[in-house]
Amino acid sequence: MAYEKVEVYSPRSLAEALELLSQKRELIKPVAGGTDIMVMLKDGVLKEKELLNLSFIPELSYIKESENRVLIGAATKYREIRRSPLINAYSPILIEAIRQIGSPQIQNLGTIGGNLGTASPAGDSIPPLYILNSRVKLQKLGSSREVQIDKFFLGPRKTVRESDELITEISIEKMDPGSYYFFEKLGLRSANAISIVSAAAILSLENNTVKYLRLSLGAVAPTVIRAVEAEELAKDKELNEELIDRIAKLAAESTKPITDIRGTAEYRKKATYGIIYEALYKIMKGYGKKVEYGFENTS
């Protein structure tokens, strides 16, 4: 079996982990929750023969406030993010997406940094991170840098992370109070299904006029994308059915989907239109979710 040939290092501090990474570089693969790596190992597609187990480094797991941002340690599990009063209050779109990731079992193992490191175009935490103007902190022995989320991914399963760097923190923006948001995904089953299409949006309205729209799409291009043309079109316009139709059309046109076992490219384009139309329509009719900065509801 493939696992018999694999060595695992389990450092107890970040310093120790960075030291190991600087020595071994591309020979070793960092593992956070393990929900992707264990499947790669079983399928015999993991090329590294050494794993860097990050589960015993408490300093990589935290959620804290920093002015207009919330900082999340890379090894923070989905479970903890979902239950975080800070994120529920300030950046609930991330909660909305994480509720729909995997299953309780996966949410108890998987981490946000792991989702970034895996860099699947269908990673469900990623569309909200795009519209929260997130920054990814990469640390190596003796230095660190921050990368804007839209500069972090190079393609499916490819990122700008150098082999001696570790993803250590994700910084997200606090959403404006009163803004609307949604995260919608289509999959074959409500739990544990890889997204066929996903969309995340933040919509700020004043007297039914769009102050700004931020819209990102998952699983319809080599990386998650922002639907920039649709965002620009929406600005300063009245939110009505005609505008919603044009936004959804422009967003669908901005996709570059593939045909695979989960859906055809044509289906993905149509579904992109459909989920955006429906979600914006609900907001227009008063059924949208709104950022309240409230601290009661943490499920």
Partner 1 sequence: MEANVSFFLNGKKVSVKAPPAKSLLRVLREDLGVTSVKPGCEAGECGACSVLLDGQVVTSCLVMISQVEGKSVITVEGLEKDGELDPLQKAFVEEGATQCGYCTPGFIISAKALLNENPNPTDEEILEGVSGNICRCGAYPRIYNAIKKVVKKDGV
- In the complex, the residues that contact partner 1 under the rule CB under 8 A are 3-8, 10, 31, 33-35, 38-39, 41-42, 51, 53, 55-56, 79, 102-106, 108-109, 190-192
Strand order of the β-sheet with 197-206 is: 225-226, 209-218, 197-206, 180-186, 289-290
Which amino acid is located at 215 in the chain? L
Number of neighbours of residue 166 by Cβ within 10 angstroms: 27
CB of 103 to partner 1, least distance (A): 3
Residue among 7 and 26 whose Cβ is closer to partner 1:
7
Distance CA 45, CA 187 (A): 25
Which of residues 37 and 247 has its CB atom nearest to partner 1 in the complex?
37
Question: Residue 75 or 136: which CB sits closer to partner 1?
Answer: 75
CA dihedral 148, 152, 155, 157 (to 10 degrees): -140
CB of 191 to partner 1, least distance (A): 4
Nearer to partner 1, 35 or 139 (CB): 35
CB-CB contact of 89 with 8 (8 Å): no
Min CB(53)–partner 1 separation in Å = 5
CB of 160 to partner 1, least distance (A): 27
Q: Where are the alpha helices (DSSP H) in 163-285?
A: 228-234, 241-253, 265-284
CB of 30 vs partner 1, minimal distance in Å: 13
Minimum distance from CB of 110 to partner 1 (Å)? 9
Please tell me what DSSP assigns to residue 111: B
Label the pairing between strands 28-31 and 50-53: parallel
Compute the least distance from the CB of residue 12 to partner 1, in Å.
11
Judge contact between 34 and 78, C-beta under 8 A: no
Using the minimum distance from each CB to partner 1, give the nearer residue, 98 or 227: 98
Interatomic CA distance for residues 38 and 212, integer angstroms = 41
DSSP code string of 122-170: T-TTHHHHHHTT-EEEEEETTEEEEEEHHHHEEETTEES--TT-EEEEE
Task: Give the C-alpha distances (Å, rounded to integers) separating 80 from 32, 47, 108, 110, 116.
Answer: 14, 31, 8, 10, 17
Distance CA 194, CA 192 (A): 7
Considering the complex, state which of residue 1 and residue 207 has its C-beta at the smaller distance from partner 1: 1
Distance in Å, CB of 8 to partner 1, minimum: 4
Nearer to partner 1, 6 or 86 (CB): 6
